[in-house]
Chain A
Amino acid sequence: MSARRIFARPARFAAIAPYVWMVLFFLVPFGFVLKISLSQTAIAQPPYEPVFDLTAGWTTIRAAFAALGIDNFKLIASDDIYVFAYLRSLTVAVTATALLLLIGYPIAYGMARLPKRWQAMAMVLVIVPFWTSFLIRIYAWINILQHDGLLNQILLALHLVSQPVVWLSTDTAMYIGIVYSYLPFMILPLYATLAKMEPALEEAASDLGAPPWQVFWLVTFPLSLPGVGAGVLLCFIPIVGEFVIPDLLAGSNSLMIGQTLWLEFFTNKDWPVASSAAIVLLVVLLLPLLLYERLQRRQLEER
């Protein structure tokens, strides 16, 4: 036991470099987002004011503080575009996460029931698409879903439709893209809990006369809830702030919050409003983020 303590002391020093890095490049930047979200838009470089100048003396700094205000947040709360964008982001994230759970669960369940030898292979097969470029996978779907793309060609050839269906720039295309991109994130935590489950439990329920759906609903599903929780959080949080998929696959008449943030920043060059949007998004995601952090820590440290 003493060896463990001796080892622990230098190991603590290992934290210094990553700690400093994360404080500098992860924590401190949020301070800047908060500060600029309270600033005024200006036609300047950088396009906001007031700018802190520590060399200018105390009065200037105080004046800079006095000029900070919550106008941008008022704008966001009163402007329908933002309110709708937030609502849409949440709706899309809830719907997509539900779809992912419905589609991912049977796949993870099937994987967990494969013979042990094949399970590792199946896991690699699910992970590999996660390694291939995100943008490329979305692009692959544009190929398939466009007006004279493969899907319409097949549907026409089978006489299922008489003229090409509009797939691109619809919510359907966006949901296909989201489910496709996030599926591995849903499957892996589900599979991890399902694979650890004792098969004897299901067998016992079945021996005692429970029909298969009851075995699933009363035994398998409740036992897999930790995996469900991890999968849901792992998908829900990033989907709320998703930009690329709705931008390339969904129509442009209703935007998600990630898109409005991008638009304010890159097109309108309104950094303060973009920062305010980021702060509101962060506040919305705070609870799921905390839940996720706790889950992740428990999973990695208590094994």
Chain B
Amino acid sequence: MRKVSRLSRFNIASLALGLGFLYLPILILVIYSFNASRLVTVWGGWSLRWYYEFFGDRAMIEASWMSLRVAVASATIATLIGTLAAVALSRGERFRGRTLFSGMLYAPLVMPEVITGLSLLLLFVALNAERGFWTVTIAHTTLTMCFVAVVVQSRLGSLDRSLEEAAMDLGCAPVRAFLSVTLPLIAPAIVAGWMLAFTLSLDDLVIASFTTGPGSATLPIRIYSEVRLGVKPEINAICTLVIALIAVVIVIASLASKLSSSQGESAAPL
């Protein structure tokens, strides 16, 4: 009798190659950000020169500040509304327009960003809204609340319903049962959802380009216009800083989902 071996050499090789492919380019980028040489490709020893350059670059600092504010604001609104959407979808009884509702929530996850960006811009123009911080924030909220809804909904789906039912059988009002039983249980997923929304907003180039106005460029917009002109060592440094920030966010999010997995299935993003 032959047994299918669980982990073949082929499996290990494809895993190693796959992970190498995913991580090597980022690693190279980080290493080269500490390169002293102005030529990106020639190694001139370790240096923090490009980081000083970045902190002296006012336009870049302003764009970073704009991006951070948009990311915090849009992630917060998206988490509030996205969580409500997840609760409605997984706990609410059938209501009219429910199919449209779930369709509107899932479509932005895959919708090409050029379409979302263009359509929101046309709305803002029609409303005569001044484009800047708030228009970008609204646009990012619209995109990221869908991701929050999916993450929270997947956690709600794996939750044992008898807990909240027990609370209500014992005389708890539904809203109270939600606040004191369900909410603490899905809190890790909500935290993870906020983090995901934050990083998605921080990352977005296309939708922000459509919906922002003159003088309020976000960091990706600035990076993009620099990158089009070619590779600059300063960009390596900025990218490394962004990666470091996101790494911190990931650590917090994974701690949160560790909390959640100790209570049941883990709430992985997506």
Contacts and interface: CB of A to CB of B under 8 A. Distances in A.
Interface of B is mostly: helix
A134 B119 contact: no
Contacts of B227: 135, 139, 142, 248
B150 A300 contact: yes
Contacts of B80: 17
A26 B107 contact: yes
A109 B150 CA distance: 25
A234 B223 CA distance: 27
A207 interface: yes
Given A17-B84, A146-B231, A278-B114, A140 B25 contact: yes
A57 interface: no
A110 B203 contact: no
A157 interface: no
Interface residues of A, number: 109
A212 to B, nearest CB: 7
A13 B21 CA distance: 46
A132 B106 contact: no
Contacts of B108: 26
Interface residues of B, number: 108
Interface string B189-200: 000000010010
A294 B102 CA distance: 10
B142 A21 contact: yes
Contact of B104 (A10, A26, A139, A238): A26
Nearest to A27: B104
A12 B87 CA distance: 8
A33 B104 contact: no
Interface in B144-177: 145, 149-150, 153-154, 157-158, 161, 164-165, 168-169, 174-175, 177
A33 B122 contact: yes
B110 A238 contact: yes
B11 A135 contact: no
Given A148-B41, A258-B112, A293-B106, A131 B246 contact: yes
B6 interface: yes
Contacts of A17: 80-81, 84
B174 A10 contact: yes
A238 B112 contact: yes
B88 A135 contact: no
A16 B165 CA distance: 23
Nearest to B221: A135
Nearest to B19: A125
18 contacts: A3-B168, A4-B165, A7-B165, A7-B178, A11-B92, A18-B149, A33-B115, A120-B266, A139-B227, A146-B231, A183-B22, A207-B2, A212-B4, A215-B4, A238-B111, A241-B112, A262-B114, A300-B90
